[in-house]
Amino acid sequence: MPTRELVSRDLRRLLLGGVEVDYVLVRRRGRRGVGLKVDPAGLTVNAPLTVSVASIESYLRASERWIAKKLAEWGERKTPEASWADGAPLPYLGRSLTLRLAGTGRARAELEGDELYVTIPASSNDAVRKGVIGWYKRAALVHLAGRTYSIARDSGLPMPTVFLSSALARWGSCNSKREIRFTWRLVKAPPAIVDYVVCHELAHLRHMNHSPAFWAEVERLCPGHKRLRSELEATDHLYRSF
């Protein structure tokens, strides 16, 4: 039986049915055909080296209805609606912050203790939402990049480049260029779960697959990762309310 050696693993994006869909393209030696998988992490495409990206994306367009159906099935888990009223709770790294509307003026958001004060140009839920999400993105980049660099340095791993995404179905991704992307929504989860996702992506710097060797590396970086993985899978919909 031929060995399906991993060659590359890259995050790509394609417009399907008017919606931008992120997918991971996995290239393997010895693979004969294109295969699709949709799970809580999103869409993964497994393909041989000989198939062009154009051919793969034509196949994805032909499978558009199936992909949309599967992604919708994973997204049907009940997600609580966000509230943008003064006093609304906001999850952040295992804490419950309190949203405070600080009136109208130059757009800004500042955290004081466990209260997030948001000033907006005009009074509307959309303006509050944009202000809150802007703060989350800034806080996420600082925290996620910091944890990634700290764990990589302490574990003897090469230093990756960290980017943010707004993905709803994928917490993180790592490609063969040592680029790691995390959705900013990850910082709504408790710190231990955040660290698990960071370690999961860092493990891909050595193993661009989900082989036993990969999971052994995850365990080295994050002892007891199975419990954290289960907690994330059971509650991830709670972090997608906005």
For residue 124, give the CATH number of its domain. Answer: 3.30.2010.10
Q: What is the mean pLDDT of the chain?
A: 88
Residue 84 lies in a domain: no
* Pair (65, 106) in one structural domain: no
Residue 41 lies in a domain: yes
* Pair (66, 138) in one structural domain: no
* Pair (101, 66) in one structural domain: no
* Pair (114, 154) in one structural domain: yes
* Pair (119, 179) in one structural domain: yes
Give the whole-angstrom CA distance, residue 196 versus residue 179.
17
* Pair (62, 93) in one structural domain: no
In the predicted structure, residue 3 carries a pLDDT above the cut 80: no
Domain span holding position 66: 6-75
Residue 203 lies in a domain: yes
At 178 the pLDDT is 93
Higher pLDDT, 159 or 40: 159
Question: What's the pTM value of the predicted model, to 2 decimals?
Answer: 0.71
* 21, 13 Cβ separation under 8 angstroms: yes
Residue 81 lies in a domain: no
At 15 the pLDDT is 86
Overall average pLDDT of the 14-27 stretch? 84
In the predicted structure, residue 174 carries a pLDDT above the cut 80: yes
Listed residue (190, 196, 145, 187) closest to 166, CA to CA: 187
Q: For 84-133, what is each residue's pLDDT tens digit?
A: 999 999 999 999 999 999 888 888 899 999 999 999 887 788 899 999 99
- Looking at residue 112, what DSSP letter applies? E
Overall average pLDDT of the 172-199 stretch? 94
The helix/strand/coil state of 118 is strand
- Phi and psi dihedrals of 181, rounded to 5? -115, 135
**Which residue among 26, 46, 75 closes a domain?**
75
* 94, 190 Cβ separation under 8 angstroms: yes
* Pair (52, 96) in one structural domain: no
* Pair (107, 209) in one structural domain: yes
Strand partners, 118: 101, 109
Give the whole-angstrom CA distance, residue 224 versus residue 240.
25
Overall average pLDDT of the 46-59 stretch? 92
**Can you list the alpha helix ranges (DSSP code H) found in 173-221?**
191-203, 212-221
Q: For 142-153, what is each residue's pLDDT tens digit?
A: 999 999 999 999
Residue 227 lies in a domain: yes
Total domains, the chain: 2
Dihedral sign from CA coordinates of 122, 123, 129, 132:
positive
In the predicted structure, residue 180 carries a pLDDT above the cut 50: yes
Q: For 212-234, what is each residue's pLDDT tens digit?
A: 999 999 999 999 999 998 888 87
* Pair (11, 99) in one structural domain: no
In the predicted structure, residue 188 carries a pLDDT above the cut 90: yes
